[in-house]
């Protein structure tokens, strides 16, 4: 999540200083007081820093105090840096209202993700962008909005019920093609292709920016997501969406009044990188409990899922739990012991057949308080690390077993 946070900050700094033409001497006043705080520009500043606060909270959520301090300090500090730097950018205004609304946006973003029980997943991102698009623009064009509703419905369904993957992908790309080539009036003379990312956004009116931005985020994010659902990785799906959008941009050179630029393919690439960096929906923690040179292993119950498979004790991280808190809870529930997590030994993703990937985190536990009692397993036993490979472990644990040798 920290990579996502720094990426968000870099994008904001890029837009704040665009087109990167600075004066050697100050050309604006510092932190002027505006005539009114309640303007479209203030709303845009507020929304711009929402992901800063949300991203900072998620990036530091395992540290109880820092997850509330970092979003505020980062939002205020970055906004203050931008406002002081804009004193040297002709045409920009350094205003106190920007500093205030940016900071409030960061605080609100932090509070929202701390209170609302939603995990940051690609599906959640798509639904939120679609809702924001409708809130700012409403239904305009029944065909594309109906296809958008179809994509949102597919994103909201559980993983196992998404059977219409190919039709959904085709419908999404047809909707994007229709939006990109309308009104289908071609001219022979080609217009200029613009290579400066987001140039069209940064000089447009806020009332036009927001609906258009959320629409692009939804449709291009959907273009990446539907290809990912076909079984390829995020980088292939992002490249596919970017190549498709680049072809549309090239065609738009012959379709007035469209402006042909690199922004749309770049948005697809950035969204693919964002989705790839998001943590999996499910995080599972496991304890490597040592005593006298042996490690405690557990066998799953007969008749249950993955019956009679061996594993390390642990379980899923619930919402608003840190991985370490989740492990302590699981060890109390499964073995009736108090055992705080020690050093992290391994962390990786694993996908069982026909299921979404999960994140596995293994922690070392050296001195548990109490004698482990079997509360939920078929059996538990202490075993020499050299002999663990002879047991029928869960597929997701086998990579870690190889590291223990």
The string of pLDDT tens digits covering residues 293-349 is 899 999 999 988 889 999 999 999 886 688 888 999 999 999 999 988 889 999 888
CA angle 352, 354, 359 (to 5 degrees): 40
Enter the pTM of the model.
0.69
pLDDT at 93: 79
Rounded Cα distance, 48 and 27, in Å: 25
Residue 369 has pLDDT above 70, yes or no: yes
Rounded Cα distance, 251 and 254, in Å: 6
Residue 252 phi, psi (nearest 5) = -70, -15
pLDDT at 26: 85
**Crossing angle of helices 40-48 and 50-59, rounded to 10°:** 10
Calculate mean pLDDT across residues 225-237.
86
pLDDT at 160: 44
Numbered ranges of CATH 3.90.79.10 in the chain: 282-404
pLDDT at 207: 65
Work out the mean pLDDT of the chain and round it to a whole number. 85
pLDDT at 161: 45
Rounded Cα distance, 15 and 295, in Å: 53
Calculate mean pLDDT across residues 21-41.
74
Residue 141 has pLDDT above 90, yes or no: no
pLDDT at 250: 95
- Output the CA–CA distances (angstroms, integers) from residue 44 to 19, 105, 209, 398, in the order listed: 19, 10, 9, 49
3-class DSSP state of 250: helix
Task: Identify the band that residue 390 occupies on the pLDDT scale cut at 50, 70 and 90.
Answer: very high
83 vs 356 pLDDT, higher one: 83
Share of the chain above pLDDT 70, in %: 88
- Under a CB-based contact definition with an 8 Å cutoff, are residues 148 and 171 in contact? no
364 vs 139 pLDDT, higher one: 364
Task: Encode pLDDT of 318-329 as tens digits.
Answer: 866 888 889 999
Query: Cα-Cα-Cα-Cα dihedral of 382, 387, 389, 393, to 10°?
Result: -20
Residue 6 has pLDDT above 70, yes or no: yes
Tokens of 137: 């623009």
Task: Encode pLDDT of 279-295 as tens digits.
Answer: 766 889 999 999 888 99
Residue 156 has pLDDT above 60, yes or no: no
- Under a CB-based contact definition with an 8 Å cutoff, are residues 366 and 379 in contact? no
Which letter, b or e, does each residue of 231-258 get, where b requires 16 or more Cβ atoms within 10 Å of its Cβ? eeebeebbbbbbebbbebbebbbbbeeb
Residue 166 has pLDDT above 90, yes or no: no
182 vs 38 pLDDT, higher one: 182
Rounded Cα distance, 325 and 318, in Å: 10
3-class DSSP state of 261: strand
Task: Encode pLDDT of 59-95 as tens digits.
Answer: 887 777 888 999 999 999 999 999 999 889 887 878 8
In the CATH hierarchy, which fold is given to the domain comprising 282-404?
Answer: Nucleoside Triphosphate Pyrophosphohydrolase (3.90.79)
- Output the CA–CA distances (angstroms, integers) from residue 122 to 11, 76, 180, in the order listed: 19, 28, 23
Residue recorded with tokens 């720094």? 6
Rounded Cα distance, 2 and 383, in Å: 38
Ordered alpha helix ranges (H), 182-256: 199-202, 206-228, 234-251
Calculate mean pLDDT across residues 111-134.
81
Share of the chain above pLDDT 90, in %: 40
49 vs 144 pLDDT, higher one: 49
Residue 382 has pLDDT above 90, yes or no: yes
Task: Encode pLDDT of 254-279 as tens digits.
Answer: 998 888 999 999 999 999 998 888 87
Calculate mean pLDDT across residues 221-245.
90
């Amino acid at each position: 999540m920290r990579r996502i946070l720094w990426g968000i900050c870099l994008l904001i700094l890029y837009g704040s200083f665009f087109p990167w033409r600075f004066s050697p001497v100050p050309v604006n006043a510092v932190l002027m007081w505006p005539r009114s705080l309640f303007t479209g520009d203030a709303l845009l500043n507020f929304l711009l820093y929402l992901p800063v606060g949300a991203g900072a909270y998620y990036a530091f959520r395992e540290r109880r105090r820092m997850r509330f301090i970092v979003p505020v300090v980062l939002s205020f500090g970055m906004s203050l840096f931008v406002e002081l730097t804009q004193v040297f950018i002709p045409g920009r205004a350094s205003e106190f209202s920007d500093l205030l609304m940016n900071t409030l946006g960061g605080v609100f973003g932090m509070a929202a993700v701390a209170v609302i029980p939603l995990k940051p997943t690609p599906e959640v991102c798509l639904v939120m962008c679609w809702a924001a698009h409708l809130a700012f623009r409403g239904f305009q064009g029944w065909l594309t909005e109906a296809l958008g509703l179809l994509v949102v419905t597919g994103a909201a369904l559980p993983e196992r019920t998404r059977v219409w993957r190919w039709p959904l992908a085709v419908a999404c790309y047809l909707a994007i093609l229709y939006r990109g080539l309308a009104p289908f009036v071609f001219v022979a003379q080609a217009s200029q292709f613009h290579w400066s990312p987001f140039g069209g956004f940064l000089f447009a009116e806020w009332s036009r920016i927001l609906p258009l931005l959320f629409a692009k985020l939804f449709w291009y994010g959907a273009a990446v997501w539907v290809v990912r659902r076909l079984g390829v990785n995020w980088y292939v799906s992002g490249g596919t969406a970017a190549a498709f959008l680049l072809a549309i941009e090239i065609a738009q050179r012959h379709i007035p009044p469209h402006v042909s630029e690199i922004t749309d393919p770049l948005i697809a690439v950035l969204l693919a990188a964002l989705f790839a960096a998001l943590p999996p929906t499910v995080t599972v923690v496991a304890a490597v409990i040592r005593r006298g040179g042996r490690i405690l292993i557990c066998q799953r119950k007969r008749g249950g899922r993955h019956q009679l498979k061996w594993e390390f004790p642990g379980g899923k991280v619930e919402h608003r739990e840190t991985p370490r808190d989740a492990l302590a809870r699981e060890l109390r529930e499964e073995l009736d012991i108090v055992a705080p997590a020690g050093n992290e030994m391994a962390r990786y993703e694993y996908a069982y057949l026909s299921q979404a990937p999960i994140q596995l985190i293994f922690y070392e536990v050296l001195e548990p308080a109490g004698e482990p009692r079997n509360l939920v397993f078929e059996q538990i036993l202490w075993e020499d690390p050299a002999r663990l490979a002879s047991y029928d472990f869960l597929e997701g644990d086998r990579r870690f077993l190889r590291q223990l040798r």
